[in-house]
Amino acid sequence: MGHLRPDTTDKKDLSIIIPAFNEEKIIYKNLGKTDEALKNILQKHGYTYEIIVVDDGSTDNTYKEALNVSENSVNIKVVNYKKNGGKGKALKYGFKYCNARYVTFIDADLDLHPNQISHFIEYMEENNADVVIGSKRHPLSIINYPTSRKVLSGGYHLLTRLLFHLDLSDTQTGLKLFKNEVLKEILPRILCKKYAFDLELLVNVKTRGWKITEAPIELNWQRANNRLKLQDMWHLGLDTAAIFYRLKIKKHYQDRQYFYHFKLLKDYISVKK
């Protein structure tokens, strides 16, 4: 179980943010599974955690179903807003409620089971990383999802490597783990709310000098239907182009003076420790 040390303050060891949009059919069962899995891999070792469910303006009973689960668990918070804003907005909104040293994102459908979080913590500690991202292309990953999604994922990966020169094999996998201070710095700079949030987040992480490491995952496709539509692909392309413009032309992410002094402070604190 890695080197995560229980905190003696009111601050949690781990916050899990789960964005949810129109998930009334699965949220009750999957939220219960997530809470139970975390009790088994974290709480029994004395580590504290919180689950923050963000209802992203659902038009069904997602919020009500999530609240029903939270009534039986002190570890679950449920928050919402009225208008659907996309995964990025939901994750930024959920981070406002986080009170933990580590923060992880995981999707409500549980294509990626939450018992993998413990391995991500181990990867973070062993590699002295600031961010750990799941990768479908890691040689140890076990992947079961539609061929059509594999083709789309591969094509988008090639496009982002060409545009951004990210030395990452996968930017889109839903399971990611961050040190809290990384998100505090990065999230205010993120403008994409729905389609290319993951890419913009990781472009910022790399630009700002934080260390990323990739971890293997086990992915089991849960949905009967593919929710990615042609118009979604169009909007994803537009958001990707906007990130390129902000990075390469506008220099939106490169506040060099701030970045330089922040790194000096970070290195100084590291030496003192």
> Is 264 within a domain?
yes
- The pLDDT, as a whole number, for residue 259 is 47
| DSSP letters for 88-138 | HHHHHHHHTT--EEEEEE--TT-SB-GGGHHHHHHHHHHTT-SEEEEETTS
> Is 55 within a domain?
yes
- Average confidence (pLDDT) over 94-120: 92
- The pLDDT, as a whole number, for residue 37 is 92
> Is 207 within a domain?
yes
pLDDT, tens digit, 9 for 90 and up, residues 208-259: 999 999 999 999 887 655 556 667 778 888 999 999 998 988 887 876 444 4
> Is 233 within a domain?
yes
Q: Are 73 and 84 in contact (CB under 8 A)?
A: no
> Is 52 within a domain?
yes
The CATH number assigned to the domain holding 33 equals: 3.90.550.10
pLDDT, tens digit, 9 for 90 and up, residues 3-28: 455 444 568 899 999 999 999 999 99
> Is 7 within a domain?
no
> Is 40 within a domain?
yes
Overall number of domains in the chain:
1
pLDDT, tens digit, 9 for 90 and up, residues 143-187: 887 777 778 878 888 888 889 988 898 898 889 999 999 999 999
